[in-house]
Structures are given as C-alpha cells and as structure tokens.
Amino acid sequence: MPMPKLATLIGGLLLSRGGRRVAGRHAGKLALATLAYELWRKRQDERAGVPPRQEQSQSHPRQRWSGRRR
C-alpha cells in the first residue's frame, strides 16, 4: 500500500526541531485529523463505487520474543 501523503507530511514535520515541537504539542489534534481524513477518504471511495481497500496482512504474524531462551 502506498504511503498516504498525510503520513509523509507528518513525517517531514518530525524531522525538524520546530516540527517535533509542534507535533508534540498538537499530537492529539494530528491523530484526530489523520483519523478524520482516513474516514472521509473511505466514504468518498464508497460514494464513487471504488472497491474497499484491503490491508496487507501477514500470513503468519510473528510472535513477540519474550526474552527467555528455550
């Protein structure tokens, strides 16, 4: 799945010192804005008749390593 433009924008913010400060101060607002954008995009796709996107899932998800050896 190609990376959304919004994610690259937010990633660019995090690369600069001022961007990190803004992102830290407004993290909740950025998260809500991202969620709202994804929801809006999904609804636009439904209206246009585009088939729903499938998330890439791993066929066998890895188990977390517990730190203990067997």
> Is residue 1 pLDDT above 70, yes or no?
no
Res 20: pLDDT:
80
List CB contacts of 51: < 8 A, sequence separation 6 or more: none
Q: Is the model more confident about 44 or about 5?
A: 44
pLDDT averaged over every residue in the chain: 77
Res 33: pLDDT:
85
Widest Cα–Cα separation across the chain: 53
Reported as a single tens digit per residue, the pLDDT across 13-39 is 778 888 888 777 888 888 888 889 889
Listing DSSP states for 4-52 in one string gives PHHHHHHHHHHHSHHHHHHHHHTHHHHHHHHHHHHHHHHHHHHHHTPPP
